[in-house]
Amino acid sequence: MISADMIAEIMGFNRFYSNILNLLNKQIMAEGYSLTETRVLFEIGKTDRCTANILVNQLDIDRSYMSRMIARFEKKGIIDKTQSPTDSRINYIRLTEKGRHDFNRLNDMQSEQITHLFHKMNEEDQKLIFDAMIMIKNKLSDVTDVISIRPFTPSDIEYVISRHKTLYYAERHLSNVFFNYVDRIVYQFANNFNPKTDCLNILECNGNPAGSIAVVKAEDKIAQIRFFMLEPEMRGRGYGNKLMDMALDFCREKKYKHVFLLTISAQVIARHIYERRGFRKTDSYDKSEWGESVVEERWDLEL
């Protein structure tokens, strides 16, 4: 049973961690964005089909405060609104080119601040703190999150595109050439989707998209795994394994004999998922047009 002393320590840790977050976000606040505004920009950046209602519900922010914030963003030219083609009452909110630039700059600032903080510790202490943070996040999330995996709907296409762009910029600094490639292959998948040979599953956490994986027919009896992605907060919790296993089960159900996927060499953790299921790297390609020193890899599996 949890004791009064344990509760006091947890409350103390919460106050301490709040101070650390304030320290990390000082530079962002100096750029003219509050912490709440930064959170809202992050959510808007996830999809081109974001709405004010989605933001209010996901972030638990007062509706009138959200309206004022969105009006300020619109005035600054970092977001624009487009009317839903199916419901005139709904306006989609998305980042403009200036908004995407600001968002990426804020993300880079946070990365630099975290790097600076951790460089003050030796590698052993860095790993100790990192592992403890992952454990705390995962254990608390396991008892609070509602998780599901479902087939995609048309509205998920913009989520898949937006999050691939945002995450690959934030984590790998890939170029606009890669982003144009993402646009092309995801829309191509959506336009040619055949439920008899293809699938796209969406991981949901508390009703919000949190990851994806697709299977696409490449040739007769050959399938390709595509759009494998997890939100950072979902990693290390086994959901990448679940998505991959569901995709491979679909391949076996549809009588595919061979599966392959394309990834980049920097995706070290994802490679462990492939290796454990018998995938083997069969080729690599220079993709310097996507970013500095980017190498694309092909991994194959016989079913």
CATH assignment of the domain containing 45? 1.10.10.10
Same domain, 166 and 298: yes
Residue 136 lies in a domain: no
The predicted model scores a pTM of 0.74
The answer for residues whose C-beta is within 8 angstroms of residue 209's C-beta and 6 or more apart is 46, 47, 156, 159, 163, 202, 203
> What's the CA gap between 275 and 248, in Å, rounded?
14
Residue 138 lies in a domain: no
Same domain, 211 and 102: no
Map tokens 């968002």 to a residue. 103
Same domain, 253 and 159: yes
Residue 127 lies in a domain: no
Residue 139 lies in a domain: no
The enclosing H or E element of 209 equals strand 208-219
pLDDT band per the 50, 70, 90 thresholds, residue 163: confident
Least confident of 8-17, 28-37, 167-176, 253-262: 28-37
Least confident of 87-91, 230-234, 240-244: 87-91
Residue 142 lies in a domain: no
> What's the CA gap between 132 and 9, in Å, rounded?
16
> What's the CA gap between 250 and 243, in Å, rounded?
11
pLDDT band per the 50, 70, 90 thresholds, residue 86: low
Burial of 47 (C-beta count, 10 Å sphere; 0-12/13-18/19+)? buried
Same domain, 87 and 213: no
Domain residues for 200?
Answer: 147-302
Same domain, 154 and 96: no
How many other C-beta atoms are found inside a 10 Å radius of the C-beta of residue 262?
14
Contact of 59 with 40, CB cutoff 8 Å: yes
| pLDDT at 30 exceeding the cut of 70 | no
